[in-house]
Chain A
Amino acid sequence: MSDLLFEIGLEEIPARMIAAAQKELHRRVLELLNRERLVSGATIESRSYSTPRRIAVVFPGVLPKQADTEEQLTGPSWSVAFKNGEPTPAALAFAKKAGVEVSALEKTVTPKGEYVTATVSRSGRAATEVLAEQLPKELAALYWPKNMYWRAGKPERFVRPVKWIVALLDEAVVPVEFAGVRASNLSYGHRILHGAQAVTILKPSEYVSALEAAKVLVDVDARRQRIRKALDAATRSVAGARWREDAALVETVTHLTEWPSVLLGNFEPEYLSLPEEVLVTVMRDHQKYFAVEDASGKLAPHFLAVLNTETDERGIGVIQHGNERVLRARFNDARFFWTVDQKVLLTDRVEMLKSVTFQKDLGSYYDKTQANLRIAEEIAVLAANRGVALDRDALLTATRLAKTDLTTELVKEFTELQGIVGGLYARVQGLGETVAQAIYAQYTPASVEDAIPDIVEGQILGLVDRIQTIAAMFAIGLEPTGSKDPFALRRAANGVVKILAESDLPLTLADMIAMPGKDEARIADRVSAFLRERVEFYLRDVRAFHYDVVKAVIAADHENVRDAVARAEALSAVRGSEDFLAISAAFKRIKNILRQAGEKQGRPGGEGRVDQKLLVDAPEQALYSEAEKLVPAVESLRAERKYQEALEQIATLRPHVDLFFDKVMVMVEDPAVRQNRLTLLAWVLHGFSSIADFSEIVSS
């Protein structure tokens, strides 16, 4: 058994793409080895590695060659193949096809008769041959979010130009060729610390150590650990300080470095007068620096930069000075913008929104603000009528000013701070804490992991802004299709659903759809269907309810999102019980019967009222009287939102349903009895489907 090493060397791969590509290459090579029978059945200790300039996999336990195989091929029937003991053309053709002598053909008796067969043995191919043929195909199939051409004639697309390939089975080079590059046992070390000289990899087991000697840490976990430790160590030089945890940034810098180290830099404390959000955005988003906070959690005048090198004290001094210089210039810009922006108050910026396009057919952000205001006013009334304590004036002020920060220099420079800047400016301009917070949080939740705004006014502003956007875009035919969603309407709708689900607002999706105004009435159905999908997504992917639970709950109602969550929780709790599964199966059966009857009769199968006099058999009478008792009980539990108890009540119907189906024939000759039985079933189905449509539940 051999060790396989496969490394592809590239010009710097975008950091965001590396982790997925590393995983995919590992999966592909593993599947290849299995498919080609180059590993024995036992699980094997494989590893995968990456840096910005390479992706690599190591697989121990690779077989030197595929096992030989023997296969029996079946040809024509014996009587066709041999006449009077002489082979016919059919026999000759079969022997030729199977690659054996005619004399080697055998007679095999099968239940269908006697047939000519041939035993064909194939010797397994050498691993190196299979790998040389297959690995390039796996490389070519790797998914990259953005590809490029680089060679004349455009023979291949890849994420970046390929520089080298190492492919080794133990000490032997596997002659892989991809993108004009032939594999060897030569890899490359750190650009600066090791230089252009190749690094010879004698065998796969020495891959990690050989590159470590060339100042490349190929193990991503090790690199991440080194960075975290170095961040800790660098921060310790400041008494009581901590670096601000930022897992996403740790990932990014891990994939930007081959040999990481960390330096602590400083900035003038005077910049701390700028809001933390601005400072952190500059450091994190623009410079990929970690922020440092003091013991009380407040920002300290330091930053941590992750370097892709290691150098002496002199070099560190140079690098630190350079990074500090850049940060100072950026902070200076931010401070300059902040000061300039204060010269025009947010309240005086509303008019300026007329020259900021929202969407070319929908007009400016001024127009959007007016539309938002109309919706906000209506929702404020609705919420107040339903008992929500709400500062109406603050909500309307926040809505009117929500987009004004788009005209500020600070937001033009740091677009990711929109909303936040508006909130900060509202605060310093004395517009009140509620207004400030509502503006500040208008774009949260930005993702499904994000929290919703804390205050009611912020939640409502978030709903208003998103639903207006969705309805307006739908009205001009810009709804998302397939993977195309240029205006991020799905994300907007996810925000609507999440706010409705996780706030205490007594509002439903129907309230939302009713809001945007009469113009959009014609698109209400499409918006409703679109939001319904998002509710489904939320329950399934965010709250992790089982898909059948989600379908069952949504089939009953999707407009009250908070209620749908409660029903899904209750349904998940009872879903495993035997009685409940039986009820679900019975309901599915009822649905089928009604559907088939409907098809046969050309009209719905169970309309009208149950006629008690026509209930002739005992089981149907029992089902009727039991259900009649249960319906009001379930209904009152439902009204109190005691869904689990309601569902447990419904499950008690099981013996009666079972007995009914056991003893009673529905589709009898007598039309009156038949119709009455269908009506009974429809009534049962309808009476118990208001919490969820159980027929959607699957048993396993």
Chain B
Amino acid sequence: MPLTFQELLFRLQMFWAERGCVLQQPYDVEVGAGTMSPDTFLRVLGPKPIHIAYAQPSRRPADGRYGENPNRLYKHTQFQVILKPPPADIQDLYLESLRAIGIDLREHDIKFEEDNWESPTLGAWGIGWQVMLDGLEITQFTYFQQCGGIDLDPISGEITYGLERIAAFLQDVDSIYDIVWARDPVTGRQITYGEVRLEEELQFSVYNFEAAEIEKLWEHLQMYEAECQALLTSFQDLKKLQQHEKAHERAVHEEHEVERQIKRFPVLGAYDLCLKCSHLFNLLDARGAISVTERVGVIARIRNLAVGVAKAYVAQQEKPPLAVRA
């Protein structure tokens, strides 16, 4: 019997956990893709190795179809694996993971076709493939090269599985809503994806396309942006202070005070605010509220925040300069 939706998730989590990944929970702020979770966006920055995996519900308001289209969703689930640095056998590991979810590759046609990923909003891009299984794109496989406008070293390998697609494929159903989400081990009763999520798809399509108040959305966007920007500015001031003290080889402030402030600075909070902006932008876009001239400008504003957060994160992770530490 093919895997249920939740078994598919269990198997992938187990598979990657057994290969040394930390299993993280889905991030609890709206994101458009698993890449935007801080577990990817921030952790791929800097030198510290990570192996991490998590499922990430990903919201794309404009893709909503009121639950009427069998292949399209407002919110789909990505399973995201980040390996930094990527092990030399990362492709083989990936193929093994397919075996682990019940795909016998000898009975399928698998191809790695060029598909480079890019997110202008995040100032991020990578080189990679879409993995095609019997003509179906089941995974995006990317070697991250840049994130938040920062060149990565070491780079990260990112594997993003489209869980709904894979489940529909494994269960051979034509509609996502017919996917069996869970099966009662005692009674055998099945709960479908539709039973779990259809209502949400419908209601959020109505909200995203019809009900969301455009003026409020703009206000929220401006408020989140302003707060994020203010945080980033304070952080930059701290860094300037630190450099100033280093330049004069003396600590104006009490020893370690600036470092302490840098270390406890809420860069992660700033990133949440940036994610909020991104989601609000997507909502405004779905509402058709962003004119063509505004569009590019708003994307640039959010990109600015993302790049600012990435820079701050890297600066925060760096070891303090020696002159001050002494």
Contact = CB atoms under 8 A, between A and B. Distances in A.
A283 to B, nearest CB: 10
A15 interface: yes
A11 interface: yes
Nearest to A333: B71
Contact of A322 (B108, B111, B127, B295): B108
B113 interface: yes
Nearest to B157: A150
Contacts, number: 113
Interface in B153-183: 153-155, 169, 172, 174
B174 A191 contact: no
Given A314-B107, A357-B292, A150 B112 contact: no
B38 to A, nearest CB: 22
B135 A357 contact: no
B109 A12 contact: no
Interface in A288-330: 289, 305, 307-309, 311, 314-315, 318-319, 321-323, 325-329
Contacts of B108: 309, 315, 318-319, 322
A319 B109 contact: yes
Interface string A319-345: 101110111110011001000000000
A364 interface: yes
B143 A153 contact: no
A9 interface: no
Interface string B122-133: 000011010001
B153 A326 contact: no
B193 to A, nearest CB: 16
A152 B109 contact: no
Contact of B153 (A15, A149, A161): A149
A366 B252 CA distance: 61
How big is the B interface, by class?
A: 35 or more
Contacts of B91: 11
A336 B66 CA distance: 14
A16 B112 CA distance: 13
B111 A153 contact: no
Interface in A616-646: none
B112 A148 contact: no
Contact of B291 (A52, A321, A355): A355
B296 to A, nearest CB: 6
A225 interface: no
B127 A146 contact: yes
Contacts of B106: 192-193, 309, 311, 315
A152 B157 CA distance: 12
A145 to B, nearest CB: 10
B174 A328 contact: yes
B98 to A, nearest CB: 11
B155 A196 contact: no
A326 B134 contact: yes
A318 B293 contact: no
Contacts of A357: 292-293, 295
Contacts of A151: 85, 154
B45 to A, nearest CB: 14
A52 B136 CA distance: 19
A653 interface: no
A356 interface: yes
Nearest to A320: B134
B155 A307 contact: no
Contacts of A332: 70-71
A325 B174 contact: yes
A209 interface: no
A147 B125 CA distance: 12
A147 B127 CA distance: 8
Contact of A319 (B134, B174, B292, B295): B134
A336 B291 CA distance: 27
B210 interface: no
B292 A360 contact: yes
B69 A336 contact: yes
Contact of A149 (B107, B129, B145): B145
Given A323-B135, A357-B293, A315 B153 contact: no
Contact of B113 (A15, A152, A160): A15
From B91, B107, B291, name the one whose CB has the most chain A CB atoms within 10 angstroms: B107
Contacts of B291: 355
B316 interface: no
A256 B136 contact: no
Contacts of A699: none
A146 B116 contact: yes
Interface in A172-222: 191-193, 196
Contact of A14 (B114, B169, B296): B114
A406 to B, nearest CB: 12
A307 B110 CA distance: 8
A15 B114 contact: yes
Nearest to A14: B114
Contacts of A15: 113-114
Contact of A329 (B70, B86, B153): B70
A600 interface: no
Given A328-B174, A357-B292, A150 B116 contact: no
A472 to B, nearest CB: 16
B95 interface: yes
29 contacts: A11-B91, A12-B114, A14-B114, A15-B113, A15-B114, A16-B114, A147-B127, A148-B126, A151-B85, A151-B154, A191-B95, A192-B106, A287-B135, A305-B109, A309-B110, A319-B107, A322-B108, A322-B134, A322-B169, A323-B135, A326-B134, A326-B136, A328-B174, A329-B174, A333-B69, A333-B71, A357-B292, A360-B292, A364-B292
Given A256-B111, A308-B109, 8 more contacts: A147-B127, A163-B88, A257-B111, A307-B109, A314-B107, A319-B108, A325-B174, A356-B292
